[in-house]
Amino acid sequence: MTTPRIAVVSAGLSQPSSTRLLADRLAAATSRALAATGRTPLVDVVELRDHAHDLANNLVTGFPAASLREVIDQVTTADALIAVTPIFNASYSGLFKTFFDVLDKDALVGMPVLVGATGGTPRHSLALEHAVRPMFAYLRSIVVPTSVYAASQDWGASGDGDRGLVDRIDRAATELADLVGNRRKPVDPFDEPTPFEQLLAEQRA
């Protein structure tokens, strides 16, 4: 049995950030869910703030720097993705969107994805459904049913607030773990090209 790889993308801007905290909790819950089935994953965490300049340059030049290329490969070749963004102006952050803008349009086809977001108020929770989920649907990823939003009041809360966040994290992580290993990657027609001799023979026939 191969070791599954989980890529975690955090678009938090500060250090520490609630966005990274949520990403870590989602990754830990997913690791537990996979371990319960006998699969202990490798987890690669990407802090987008560390690549902000390279992402801007990639948009302008069309080519990623070596360090950004490595990060892109980590994400696109993973068995599953956890993607977490802060919510600004009722949508994902520009840094978050920029990273997915520089990926090849087919890079995340069939990728199991768990989406999460953080914000200052619970009123922005639906941004996951009207902005983040549709973006991954456009990229033809498989987004788990449960998305996880954490408002400021969810952190350090005692009682129902924190319990609700824990329940959402565990439910979403279990859904993602169930999809790991089932990714269907698109067929590259150039992987096994038709030999020229065969093409020539078919043309003559």
The per-residue pLDDT for range 148-157, each reduced to its tens digit, is 999 988 886 5
pLDDT at site 161: 52
Q: Can you tell me which residue has the tokens 């996951």?
A: 128
State the architecture of 5-204 in CATH terms.
3-Layer(aba) Sandwich (3.40)
Q: Is the peptide bond before 186 cis (omega within 30 degrees of 0)?
A: no
C-alpha 105/C-alpha 86 separation (Å) is 23
Positive or negative CA dihedral for 53, 56, 60, 65? positive
Residues 6 or more apart whose CB falls under 8 angstroms from that of 145 comprise 175
Domain residue limits, the chain: 5-204
Angle separating helix axes 18-35 and 160-179, nearest 10 degrees: 50
The per-residue pLDDT for range 13-58, each reduced to its tens digit, is 988 899 999 999 999 999 999 999 999 999 999 999 999 999 999 9
Mean pLDDT in order along the chain per 10 residues (205 residues): 92 93 97 95 97 96 95 97 96 97 96 96 92 97 97 70 86 97 61 66 65
